[in-house]
Structure 1
Amino acid sequence: MTDAPPPDTTQDKGARDYRGTVFLPKTSFPMRGDLPKKEPATLARWKAQDLRGQLRERSRGLEKFVLHDGPPYANGPLHIGHALNKILKDVINRAAQMSGRDADYVPGWDCHGLPIEWKVEEGYRAKKQDKDSVPILEFRRECRDYARHWLGIQSEEFQRLGVLGDWENRYATMDFTSEAVIAEEIGRFLMNGSLYRGLRPVMWSPVEKTALADAEVEYHDVTSPTLHAAFPVVKPSLPELEGARVVIWTTTPWTIPGNRAVAFGEEIDYALVHVDGIAEGSLLATGDDLLIALPLLPAFEKEAGLAAHSLKRVFKGAELTGTVLAHPLRGWAPAEGGYDFDVPLLPGDFVTADAGTGFVHIAPGHGEDDFALGRAFGLPVPETVNDDGTYSVQTPGFTGLHVFKAHDAVWAALEAMGTLAAKGSLRHSYPHSWRSKKPVIFRATPQWFIAMDDENRIRAKALDAIANTHFVPDQGRNRIGSMVAARPDWCISRQRAWGVPIAVFVDKRSGEPLRDPTVMERILAAFREEGADAWYQPGAAARFLGNERNPDDYEQVMDIVDVWFESGCTHAFALPDHGLPFPADLYLEGSDQHRGWFHSSLLEAIGTRDIAPFKAILTHGFVLDESGRKMSKSLGNVTAPQEVMKDYGADILRLWVMNSDFADDLRIGKTILGQQAELYRRLRNTLRWLLGNLDGFTEDERVPYAELPELERYILHRVSQIDARLRRAAEDYDWSGVMPEIHNFCASDLSAFLFDIRKDSLYCDRADDPRRRSARTVVDVLHRCLCTWLAPVLVFTTEEAWLARFGEGADSVHLQTFPAVPSEWRDDALAERWTRLRAVRGLVTGALEKARAAGTIGSSLQAAPELFLGSTGADLADLPWAELCITSGLTLLDTPPEGEGVETEGEAAVRFLPAAGAKCDRCWRVLPEVGRSAAHPTLCLRCEGAVA
């Protein structure tokens, strides 16, 4: 915005001062935002005037929009990922509200589960107290107090971000009514037959002594011990296999005592090799016959020290069917015959020749594939590991030894039996508990499961629902779909204390769960009044079973339900309790929730209601530092939202979120925040310019659209484009590029174009001049549109800009809807014409910049260039080119200009010429007419008329 025409303050002392006749911008809206100071005061004003209550009252009868809040965990201050998530939700809710819908937002919290329980236990450990000796009701009370404390802090921090919602009536999974509904949802699966107790391997944390969900597991690189073990053939399917040994490879030597089979691939080529020579230190024996996948033989030679061998025969895996092996610890004296059983060789479609030996040792209690194969062939599932990670009595010779320290003992036992073919180590990714950061194991234990493929067909129905869900971005559909398609039955039980119990009784004689609606209703009634603590009260079994049953005949299940099941139930209480319709319009969380909350919510709702709880899913990425690294306190690269708000204000953080491509991982740091602050400054200055040039504007000034100059109509066309883009984002939740587009509109179409051109008219034209009135008419539109367009993002700044114009007593900008944009504003033909004009204008301004750089002129108003439009621009000749190029004159030529300094672009050509005449003291234009007025000899005729 150069070449501004305020009055010349360098005029002679004897000349008249015309400053008072110029319409200089006037506004109370300051250039500096001072957001950290102003934002809390704005929040206090909104609370005092009950902004949310006003919105709800005005929204009566409107179409509901429901973004159901995925509950954050109440166990610490907010981090930057929380801020990203809640800001994005708030923007989408506010945009829906301003699009004319009733978008009430109910925030919620996840309050049960291991992280809180673990934190409370840390307090006991610090005091050297045994948590298990604390009465369970006392322990649960401490967990509840801990969660309540952090819920309050997080609520305040979310509100400080400018997030508007029903904070007074939030939902929490630990509310008594919520606990009752969660128990009721478990009961639905109990009654429809999908809930069962079974023995199968689950992810188990030996440190926390509980099963874990996939979403509670993270992966870290570790170095694991490995072994190659040789299983002697005792019943060959072919004569050539007599006396041979099958070699397996594993990265979990501790699972060898749990081995009950070996799997092969039916289409893999297996080599029977005779050991002719071994390297020094090899554990192999010369003369042995070993069976190994042919493609993996070279790698085995190196790892096991096989120096020389002869190939006896190659078999297809299918030919091995029926072969029986001996356990590699058969006859081991310390086990006293505990491993003297046969080990069948079984076909497994999961076996590959990518690594190892092409044979997989099967421990049905320690792997999903192992368990499935074992179940298919009727193998026993020994419980070889206790809940603390030590070997059980079903592991003779190793009982009491922790599995993570067992590899030396297993190596030694196999070596003693001559069945250790090789040992080593491997660096690889291994599952860890995200809470304790300790490695986990697969362990078969009795757990409660929800069947995926019984008569309720949860898997099939869930996949159908995914196909009919709108995903942003769309690749989320394949991600959650593949997870649902491949997942096992849902393990929902946890062996902990802080949570909703699986309120089920099991008949001790039959082992079947009791499915009695009367008993279930007694339980639910108690939970509604007393919370889930009622399950742990003395005499609870007799109370709930009633007089018709003997409590001694039933087991009262004391497992709690998985917290992912709990959060998956939130639709069942958060929506109806607040009068919101089901299913929700939108679920919005980080991309990891495809295996977390999206997943559990889908399965829970499908299993109880045959319908997904959402119509659409939006996912965002994770927040990294400016170098793309994960944030960690040890690296010192953490950006805390509390610090950002203290230094910059919440609006800068909100702008960062919406300026980012949140479908991917986002980056943040001091440099990026500085860039966002600069973008904010430009947007704020745009609003300030609009406000300054609207001083005193009234409806009487408004010019009908049909009477507006082309420039103003072109800008309104751009308004219609931005409006359409914004409304589309509000409808389909795809906000990628919206804020950059609005910023570009402000910088390119407004500041560098409209404002530059119309400054002269706004400052210097008569108050009633149609050109000035037209400009002010469009400036009014721009202020209303930009304030409302930006209101979902810059919640504090737009409120300030709105009230700076309409007064402190006016309605909040957040009570407005997006302004209606008449269809006639969309004019593609006009836009095409002005796109060509802007290209030619760029040619002219480029030539002027060269003259300025050379010192020929100081201002474009000192120029009166010659311009040739060419045949392709002939239809542009009727436009006010001098006005549009901000020059004092401009001559259109019929032929290209000649001489030095001609600039061309396509057919267009321009030549710089200085303006002839004197400089007007009021508008600074250089015109021959300056000096002709007797009354105002230093003014041009336009300015003379304006000051008359």
Structure 2
Amino acid sequence: PSIVIWTTTPWTIPANRAISYGPEIAYGLYEVTAMEEGLDFEPWAKPGDRLIVADKLAEDVFKAAKIATWTRLDDLNPSGLECAHPLAALSPGYGFSVPLLAGDHVTDDAGTGFVHTAPGHGADDYDVWKAHGHHEVPDTVDADGAYYDHVPLFAGLKVIETEGKKDKIGKFGAANKVVTEKLIEAGNLLARGRMEHSYPHSWRSKAPVIFRNTPQWFIRMDQPLSDDSTLRERALSAIDATAFHPAAGKNRIRSMVESRPDWLISRQRAWGTPLAMFVDKQTGQPLVDAEVDARILTAVTAGGADAWFETPDAEFLGQHDVSRFEKIEDILDVWFDSGCTHAFTLEARDPAHGYTGDRPSHWPADLYLEGSDQHRGWFQSNLLEGSGTRGRAPYDAVLTHGFTQDEQGKKMSKSLGNTTDPAVVIKESGADILRLWVALVDYAEDQRIGKQILQTTVEAYRKLRNTVRYLLGALDGFDETERLPYDQMPPLEKFVLHRLHELDGEVRAAYADYRFQDVVRPVLEFCSNDLSALYFDVRKDSLYCDRPDAIRRRAARTVMDEVFLRLTAWLAPLAPFTTEEAWTTRFPDGGSNCARVIPETPAEWSNPAEADRWAGVQKVLEVVNEALEAARREKVIGGALDAWPVVTGPADAFAAFAGLDAAEVFRTSGAELVHGADAVSVEVRLADHPKCARSWRRVPDVGSDPDYPELSARDADAVRFLDARRA
């Protein structure tokens, strides 16, 4: 009987060394009983032929072979069977046995249930061949795409064209046709036909490619090193000792290193970093000689990598017999080149290695950062070389980011016209806009950018910039004599200082973990909610109208100074141009803001009780603001200072207002809190008092000072103080 195999690459048949079968697939022995009639050609099968195929595929196979009827004779277990090569009858060069090997890659979805196995021309073929203890891999096709001279029947025949005109390169040669004809001659072709299927092509030239195994140089992952550990073990330990951002990166690179094969480091290219070594032709072992290595190093230092290829072998080998050694002219995998960068960019400037210049560095690096594809590339090559030569990774932490796409999530392409040019963004909006966009995206995933998305970033930037501008104006002339100690601070100031204490911890932790979103977003919310919507609005009256030495105004300016010092430090890495401008505007002789460190925040600023109080105040304030807005729409009042709201509610709702001026919190001229209802409600009454010409508040004491009949008592006192200071 014959085992039926199938292939889309007849040119690999000379390299066949085995047949793979699926251990879970049901196979049967079949006998041909009749062929189809009325055909234009004589089929290759004959009644009486016995064929072995997968049961599930038998009908398809027989139809392709024009077999009309058949009989299943028996089950068949392929394990342990051996076959003759299909070309054995034509040449003694194919007189070896072809074993059947169990392989998990074999399916009964298509074909015959058996896979022709040429270990020199396919990854699955190679793996199953090696897994069954076979080590010799035949070389059948040379680097020019032709059969080697030692290949029986087909010596020199082209498999694929690699030379000539551009339209010829990548075209298949005569091999497929000639091999098929030889199979017919040997009586071992059952059927043939045409089919469309995917086939590997060069990503650069778009020409078809073929697979061929060639001798290469490897770094072994599991060979014991000087301390009896293996490179794989060292690398896995180094991964466990490294911080990954995001954390999922650790599992990703760890699974790759756990299962990766030996590292293939040689390439056959026209130019690159050479594997600068000689190999003993008799033993196949590399020459290990310190004097030879020193001569190679001297030559390459003086003449670059080309010195290895251009210098006569004798100049390197010295007393060694030149005829005995082969110069290796393969080049290194470029990932090996990339993996040694730490040794030159970091160690060369490390004072621990004798560096005395003004740009010191240190090894290992604090952080490596690149795209998520580099778990397989740069991160891993540095990991392996660092672990192999220095016992650990050359970094303490690794950060990976996604890829930048357009607003619709599509890959950017000049041909599609959907690219975003950073230079254009910087020219139109400033570099800080681009930096803030980076800080605001979730870099762990692919991120999107475009005009609409950038507009959102611009709005966020304006909020930050306007906050800093307000602080610059409010702090004009502030000095240390005006600073107020914490124990004299009003409740509102203590609340803002508590928020600074909270934010300082969040910002430091976020920076430590490279969570830039968690720096910008909380700071933005602080600027919008705590500062702009509450603190600045409440303290605006005090800043403009209190006398300069008033406790409330001094407290406000002290707190605003602390806010300014922290905002400019927190945001310096993310919006350096804006914060530098703000810092040098306020402190022209204060040096660069980028050279500052975040100020320490006193522990006494932590005040959860004050935070709870203002959470309660905010609940009442929301109801009051809604009522004031409704009254404004209905033209009952022109502005909040025209109002004197009466707020009714349960006592516990007003407990937070103990020690506070409700009118100050509501930004109205006056207010009354009345206990007695289950829910908070507001009656907006008009402030029925004269209007202060300075603060615009309508309060009973307007005109109480005869020297300033149009002012409230507070404003009259402030103006008298200012007049006296100017006198």
Report deviation, 1:747.
Answer: 1.6
What is the alpha-carbon distance in structure 2 between the residues aligned to residue 505 and residue 857 of structure 1? 95
The equivalent of 1:74 in structure 2 is none
What is the alpha-carbon distance in structure 1 between the residues aligned to residue 31 and residue 682 of structure 2? 90
Q: TM-score, normalised by structure 1?
A: 0.67
The equivalent of 1:261 in structure 2 is 18
Q: Give 1:658's match in structure 2, choosing from 439, 445, 448.
A: 439
Question: What are the within-5 Å matches in structure 2 for residues 254-403 of structure 1?
Answer: 255-272=12-29, 290-294=51-55, 312-315=73-76, 319-328=77-86, 341-352=96-107, 357-375=112-130, 376-378=132-134, 380-393=136-149, 396-397=153-154, 399-402=157-160
Question: What are the within-5 Å matches in structure 2 for residues 488-527 of structure 1?
Answer: 488-527=261-300
What is the alpha-carbon distance in structure 1 between the residues aligned to residue 444 and residue 513 of structure 2? 14
What is the alpha-carbon distance in structure 2 between the residues aligned to residue 447 and residue 304 of structure 1? 42
Report deviation, 1:537.
Answer: 3.5
Report deviation, 1:268.
Answer: 3.4
Q: Give 1:449's match in structure 2, choosing from 206, 218, 241.
A: 218
Report deviation, 1:590.
Answer: 0.7
Matched letter for residue 27 of structure 2: Y
Is this contact kept in 1: 2:22–2:105, CA < 8 A?
yes
Q: Does 1:876 align with 2:649?
A: no
Report deviation, 1:931.
Answer: 3.9
Larger CA deviation: 811-820 vs 271-280: 271-280
| Cα 1:405–1:439 shift into 2, 3 Å | closer
Report deviation, 1:545.
Answer: 1.8
Q: Give 1:534's match in structure 2, choosing from 307, 320, 323.
A: 307
What is the alpha-carbon distance in structure 1 between the residues aligned to residue 13 and residue 296 of structure 2? 45
Deviations, residues 150-200 of structure 1 (Å, cap 9, x unaligned): xxxxxxxxxxxxxxxxxxxxxxxxxxxxxxxxxxxxxxxxxxxxxxxxxxx
Percent pairwise identity: 48
What is the alpha-carbon distance in structure 1 between the residues aligned to residue 653 and residue 46 of structure 2? 92
Deviations, residues 880-923 of structure 1 (Å, cap 9, x unaligned): 22212212222111113xxxxxxxxx843333333222332222
Report deviation, 1:602.
Answer: 1.1
| Cα 1:778–1:370 shift into 2, 3 Å | same
The equivalent of 2:176 in structure 1 is 410
User: Per the alignment, in what secondary structure is the counterpart of residue 935 of structure 1?
Assistant: coil
The equivalent of 1:624 in structure 2 is 405
User: Per the alignment, in what secondary structure is the counterpart of residue 232 of structure 2?
Assistant: helix
Q: Give 1:803's match in structure 2, choosing from 584, 590, 611.
A: 584
User: Per the alignment, in what secondary structure is the counterpart of residue 360 of structure 1?
Assistant: strand
| Cα 1:356–1:804 shift into 2, 3 Å | farther
| Cα 1:436–1:887 shift into 2, 3 Å | farther
Report deviation, 1:300.
Answer: 7.1
Is this contact kept in 1: 2:232–2:258, CA < 8 A?
yes
Matched letter for residue 839 of structure 1: K
User: Per the alignment, in what secondary structure is the counterpart of residue 215 of structure 2?
Assistant: strand
What is the alpha-carbon distance in structure 1 between the residues aligned to residue 30 and residue 680 of structure 2? 83
What is the alpha-carbon distance in structure 2 between the residues aligned to residue 619 and residue 346 of structure 1? 42
Deviations, residues 435-480 of structure 1 (Å, cap 9, x unaligned): 5565654321122111111123212221222223211111111211
| Cα 1:683–1:937 shift into 2, 3 Å | same
Report deviation, 1:849.
Answer: 1.7
Matched letter for residue 659 of structure 1: L
What is the alpha-carbon distance in structure 1 between the residues aligned to residue 536 and residue 381 of structure 2? 53
The equivalent of 1:935 in structure 2 is 707
What is the alpha-carbon distance in structure 2 between the residues aligned to residue 831 and residue 265 of structure 1? 69
Instruction: Say how many residue pairs are matched.
Output: 685
Matched letter for residue 702 of structure 1: R
Report deviation, 1:859.
Answer: 1.6
The equivalent of 2:603 in structure 1 is 823
Report deviation, 1:869.
Answer: 4.3
User: Per the alignment, in what secondary structure is the counterpart of residue 741 of structure 1?
Assistant: helix
Please list every run of 5 or more consecutive structure 2 residues that lacks an aligned counterpart in the other structure.
162-169, 351-360, 721-727
Structure showing the higher strand proportion among its residues: 1
Q: Does 1:426 align with 2:197?
A: yes
Name which structure has the greater RCO, CA cutoff 8 Å, separation 6+: 1
Deviations, residues 243-301 of structure 1 (Å, cap 9, x unaligned): 24333466x56544432212123233335556778899998958665544456678879
What is the alpha-carbon distance in structure 1 between the residues aligned to residue 557 and residue 14 of structure 2? 85
Report deviation, 1:684.
Answer: 1.1
**Aligned-residue CA RMSD (Å):** 3.1
Larger CA deviation: 922-931 vs 771-780: 922-931
Q: TM-score, normalised by structure 2?
A: 0.86
Larger CA deviation: 471-480 vs 922-931: 922-931
The equivalent of 2:324 in structure 1 is 553
What is the alpha-carbon distance in structure 2 between the residues aligned to residue 289 and residue 750 of structure 1? 89
Q: Does 1:722 align with 2:479?
A: no
Report deviation, 1:824.
Answer: 1.6
Q: Give 2:642's match in structure 1, choosing from 862, 881, 884.
A: 862
| Cα 1:611–1:716 shift into 2, 3 Å | same
Q: Does 1:764 align with 2:520?
A: no
Is this contact kept in 1: 2:171–2:208, CA < 8 A?
no
Report deviation, 1:356.
Answer: 5.5
Matched letter for residue 137 of structure 2: V
Report deviation, 1:727.
Answer: 1.3
What is the alpha-carbon distance in structure 2 between the residues aligned to residue 300 and residue 723 of structure 1? 73
User: Per the alignment, in what secondary structure is the counterpart of residue 396 of structure 2?
Assistant: strand
What is the alpha-carbon distance in structure 2 between the residues aligned to residue 867 and residue 356 of structure 1? 84
What is the alpha-carbon distance in structure 2 between the residues aligned to residue 529 and residue 412 of structure 1? 53
| Cα 1:877–1:448 shift into 2, 3 Å | same
Please list every run of 5 or more consecutive structure 1 residues that lacks an aligned counterpart in the other structure.
1-242, 897-905
The equivalent of 2:345 in structure 1 is 574
